[in-house]
Every structure is written in structure tokens, then in C-alpha cells.
Amino acid sequence: MKILLIGINLKYIHPAIGIHQLIANSRYPVSFLEFTIKDKNETIIQAMEKEDYDLIGFSVYIWNIEKIKEIIKVYSKNTMILLGGPEASYRPDILHFDDRVAFIIKNEGEEAFNELIEYLNNKRKLNQVSNLYYKEKEEIRYTYDCLLNLKYVKHDITLIKDYKNRNIYLEASRGCPYHCSYCLSSLDNKVRFFALDKVKSEILFTLKNKAKAVKFLDRTFNLKQEKMREIVELIRDNDNNLTTFQFEIVGDLLDEETIKLLQTVRRGQIRFEIGIQSTNPTVTKSVNRKQDFEKLKENILKIKNNIIVHLDLIAGLPYEDKQSFIRTFNETFLLFPDELQLGFLKELQGTEISLTKELHKYQFSEKPPYEIEKNKYLNKADLDEIRIVERMINRYFNTNSFPRTMEYLFILKKLNPYQTFLEIGKLIESKNIKNMQPNTVALNLYEALAYLDKEELLYIIKQDYLYKPIKPMIWWERKITREERQKVYNSFIVKYPELDIESLYRYSHLEKFKDEYCLTTYKPLARYFIKITNN
């Protein structure tokens, strides 16, 4: 048989790991192609029609399902089509979309794919193919669930090829012990582990090949902390000063021994993704999450100097009204993670949230990504407001473009984070912030918060704005005279011997507030401060 598997990725950096797994474990010759969501449908269809394939398979996710439907609709040949991936696994009705869509492999496909090929080659009965949806006349039928013994599952990292520009995905385990009602992982509660020696060898391979980012797919990487510590020690002791490893962990599960180990890791080696979702105990209980937020805060504060910390929140959970969400947002933000992802509840078929949505009067979008439109606790206006905050935190906080300004606003001035980002957003919500030039982004921030001490606020914003690899455009009035500049430059040279007067005049910028001066240099990029009184 001639078989083609197609991965349509969200971005080039994200490889089609599901397709790679089928290829790595296939007992039969299979071709595969990867595209991104931005590739034209015509380009993908031409690749499909180039040869006469017997079977074409797609890996289906929320972000590519509509594109895949469009492609199948236009595809001209009468080839059997196979679907897999999380978006197909729990939406078997996609089989009715087109007569050529013949099969869906649910969940793990490494062995089911081989079994399906054997069936198509008359070497196995259809009911002996595991994890398979198929059509019988107009009815959708299912064979049976089968969880794999990970001892026999292979990985082939070489299929990624471009290690420096693409993420590498690894696995130390599959399955999740928790039952979070909004998450597909809650449907796979049997946790299985890959052999530790195998995981270690794959980690060493990525370090040797100087991969930029390695992301583990494990749902709870610190479930077995002894194994986690072995892996962390391996990463620490083989540091190549380039590769970052990302793990999804449960923050309040970290024990003291693990925390002490993490405090020995070079910052930048390890990134933790920690799902907080809500700080309201009533809300977390309603979605089957057990979370000790005080312990979680304590652990984050202990590791954040060494570990890049990414925190997740979900707007739209049961019993979380706007005031509760504002508390959740503020309490989480004030942990000052490296990134705070504010997401919106999605309806994932098969999850408890989806099955009981009438209880909380949920209304979800009918099209991907199936996000919440309203429920009993949040109306459309509430969610629209939260989305404004989400856009602003992505632009002004998660980009790390204004670290000194964030510290000034929320530590020194102790402003309310939610309300502050909302105020910024209301000023610029009608503008296309994605296409704004850096000077406009900084100016809008200043104008939105001008009720503060204008001069001091501008001085802080300037420090962030100026600290860029290339000297940015100046959008404010310069007030330092030539004579003052010369005197101040001489003072900087006395205090910082590495500076020289010629470079300061050619490759630096000077700003002041009261008796303090901030000097930003661009060859090399650096920042200096000095106080001079009685000028």
C-alpha cells in the first residue's frame, strides 16, 4: 500500500509529533509531509494528488480541523482518509463529514496504525484493530480501547531534523492521575512510564545536538520525584548553555529535596509550566482539582530564581464569577512568574465539563477552539473584559518588554493588576496592538497611566523602552542640555572606568529624574545609574 501521513502544524517550530510517532513505530513503509496552518490549501492538495495513495492520514487538532475539512472537501481523488489526534479522538461524527473519511484512530495510535494496515492488507479482521472508529453503513462503530506497553514504543528524534529552530518533544510518561473536568488527559488515568535509561539517552542526544527547546509531554512530570530528580541532575550536569527543558508539573507537589536540587540549576536550563487555573477553593473543587495554593506560592517563590516559571489560569470555570476571577488573577500575577497565560475554558468532547454543561448554563462557540461565550457566572461582557486584560498582559508583561515598569506599578505603587491592565486595554482596545511599533506601545502605556506621577512614570518607562539591542526612536522631548550632558558623562566615567567619552557620545542615551541619571549604552548593551546633586 502507498500511505501518506500529513501533519499541519500551528507553527514551524512545532513538529507533528503524532505523525512522527506513527512513522517511528510503523512496521510498513509510510511517507509523511509537514506543513503549517499558514500554508495554502492548494499546496497541500497538490502534494496529496502528486501520487496515487491508497491511504492518507491527518493528525487533527483544534487549530487545524477546519483547514483539514476544507482540504478534504476540495481533494479530487477517491482515496481512503484516516484521522487521528485529540480533536478526532472524541469527535467521531467527523466520519460523516465525507464518504472518504473511513477511519479514526482514538488516542494512542502507534500499534493501532499497524493493525489497520494489516486489516487493509487482509491480514487481520476489522474488529481486531484496536482504538478504531469506523463506519458500517451509516452507523459509527468502535472496536476496543488498548493502552500500549511503553516498553515497546519507540521515539525517533531525528525526524525533527532542525534541532535549533524546532521544539523537540520527549516523553517520560503517559497518562494523568488527576481528573480535572475540563481536560482530555483526565480520560487517561493509567500512568505509564518509559524506561529511565531511554529517557536519559534521548536527553543527552538533544544536548549533544544543541537543541534550543525540549518540551516533555508528560502531564505531571513530578509525579515520581525520585525519577524527576535523576533527570534534573542529568540536565544540570550536562549543561550546554543553550538548551531549555520544559516540564508540566504540579507546583504544590514539589518536596524539599527536589526544591533544593532545583536551586542548584542554572537559570534558563529548566522551565516549569504550572496550572493554577483558579485560587478559589470552591472552583478548584468543582473541577476535581486538589490544590494547596499557599504551599504552591511558597514553592514558586523558592524556585523562581533558578527556574523559568510559566503559570496558567482558566477563565470560565464553574462558580468563578468576575470578582472571583479578579482575585484569582491578582493573587497569581503577584507571584510575578516569567509568564502568565490567561486562557479561556474550551469545550473538549468527552470531558466532564462538556457532559454536564447544562448544569452551569454553558454556551460555547460551535467552531474551534470551542471557547466559552458565557455561563451562569460570567456573561459576554465579563468575558470581553477579561479578554482585554489577556491581550494587555500578553503585550506588556509576557513579552518582558517592561520589567522595571511592572515592578514600579505593582510592587512600589501596589496597583491592582487586573484593573491596571484593564485601564491600559480600554485606551488602546480599538487599535491593532499586534502591529504597533515599539514607540507607540510605550507611549500608550504612559498615556493610560498618566494619573500617576507623570515625570516619574515616564522615567521608568524610558528605562525599559531604551534597553533594546538597537537604539530606539525617541518620542519624548529631550530636556538635558549639552553642558549638563558633558558634566554627567564625566561623572559616569569616574564611577565606571569601563566607559569612555567617545563611546558615550556615539552609542548611548541619557535620561534623568530629579537627581538621578540613567545611562543606556548600546555597544555593548548596558545600563548605569548615578546620582548627582546641585547641578
The 10s digit of each residue's pLDDT in 245-287 is 999 999 999 999 999 999 999 999 999 999 999 999 999 999 9
The verdict on 463 and 332 lying in the same domain is no
The verdict on 244 and 372 lying in the same domain is yes
The verdict on 90 and 183 lying in the same domain is no
Q: What is the pLDDT of residue 434?
A: 72
Q: What is the pLDDT of residue 198?
A: 97
The verdict on 113 and 180 lying in the same domain is no
Region of residue 434 (left: phi > 0; alpha: psi -120 to 50; beta: else): alpha
Q: Is the dihedral of CA 78, 84, 87, 89 positive or negative?
A: positive
Of 331, 361, 378, the residue at which a domain comes to its end is 378
Domain count, the chain: 4
Element (H, E) at 339: strand 339-344
The verdict on 224 and 346 lying in the same domain is yes
3-state secondary structure of 210: coil
Helix H, strand E, coil C: the string for 219-268 is CCCCCCHHHHHHHHHHHHHCCCCCCEEEEEECHHHCCHHHHHHHCCCCCC
**Separation CA 252–CA 274 (nearest Å):** 10
Joined together, the cell numbers standing for residue 378 give 460570567
The 10s digit of each residue's pLDDT in 76-96 is 999 999 999 999 999 999 999
Check which CATH number belongs to the domain holding 280 and give it: 3.80.30.20
The verdict on 353 and 239 lying in the same domain is yes
Asked whether residue 373 is domain-assigned, the answer is: yes
- CB under 8 Å to 70, separation ≥6 — which residues? 41
3-state secondary structure of 34: strand
Radius of gyration from C-alpha coordinates of the chain: 27
* Nearest to 234, CA basis, from 200, 266, 205: 200
The verdict on 285 and 193 lying in the same domain is yes
Mean pLDDT value across residues 512-520: 96
**Separation CA 344–CA 387 (nearest Å):** 9
The verdict on 237 and 305 lying in the same domain is yes
* Nearest to 234, CA basis, from 218, 245, 223, 220: 245
Asked whether residue 148 is domain-assigned, the answer is: no
**Separation CA 130–CA 114 (nearest Å):** 10
The 10s digit of each residue's pLDDT in 51-67 is 999 999 999 999 999 99
Instruction: Give 32's Cβ-side CA count (13 Å radius).
Output: 24
For the chain, helix (H) and strand (E) counts, in that order, are 19, 20
**Separation CA 111–CA 268 (nearest Å):** 37
Q: Cβ–Cβ contacts within 10 Å for residue 138, how many?
A: 7
Of 443, 472, 501, the residue at which a domain comes to its end is 472
The verdict on 88 and 227 lying in the same domain is no
Asked whether residue 526 is domain-assigned, the answer is: yes
Q: What is the pLDDT of residue 186?
A: 83
Peptide linkage before 29 cis (omega within 30 of 0): no
The verdict on 529 and 518 lying in the same domain is yes
**Is pLDDT at 428 greater than 90 in this prediction?**
no
**Is pLDDT at 460 greater than 60 in this prediction?**
yes
Q: What is the mean pLDDT of the chain?
A: 95
**Separation CA 246–CA 143 (nearest Å):** 36
**Separation CA 468–CA 507 (nearest Å):** 12
Mean pLDDT value across residues 106-132: 97
Of 378, 394, 427, the residue at which a domain comes to its end is 378
418 pLDDT band, cuts 50/70/90, is very high
- CB under 8 Å to 503, separation ≥6 — which residues? 521, 523
Asked whether residue 147 is domain-assigned, the answer is: no
3-state secondary structure of 75: coil
Contact 368, 66 (CB under 8 A): yes
Mean pLDDT value across residues 321-330: 98
**Is pLDDT at 137 greater than 90 in this prediction?**
no
Peptide linkage before 337 cis (omega within 30 of 0): no
Q: Largest Cα–Cα distance in the chain?
A: 93
Q: What is the pLDDT of residue 450?
A: 84
Check which CATH number belongs to the domain holding 84 and give it: 3.40.50.2300
**Is pLDDT at 447 greater than 80 in this prediction?**
yes
The verdict on 87 and 174 lying in the same domain is no
Joined together, the cell numbers standing for residue 4 give 501518506
Task: Look up the domain containing 391 and give its range.
Answer: 379-472
**Is pLDDT at 332 greater than 60 in this prediction?**
yes
Asked whether residue 149 is domain-assigned, the answer is: no
Asked whether residue 15 is domain-assigned, the answer is: yes
Give this prediction's pTM.
0.94
**Is pLDDT at 45 greater than 90 in this prediction?**
yes
Mean pLDDT value across residues 325-353: 97
Asked whether residue 361 is domain-assigned, the answer is: yes
Q: What is the pLDDT of residue 535?
A: 52
The verdict on 100 and 220 lying in the same domain is no
Asked whether residue 150 is domain-assigned, the answer is: no
User: Sheet holding 339-344: strands in order across?
Assistant: 168-170, 213-216, 244-249, 270-277, 308-315, 339-344
Give bridge partners of residue 5 from the DSSP assignment.
32, 57
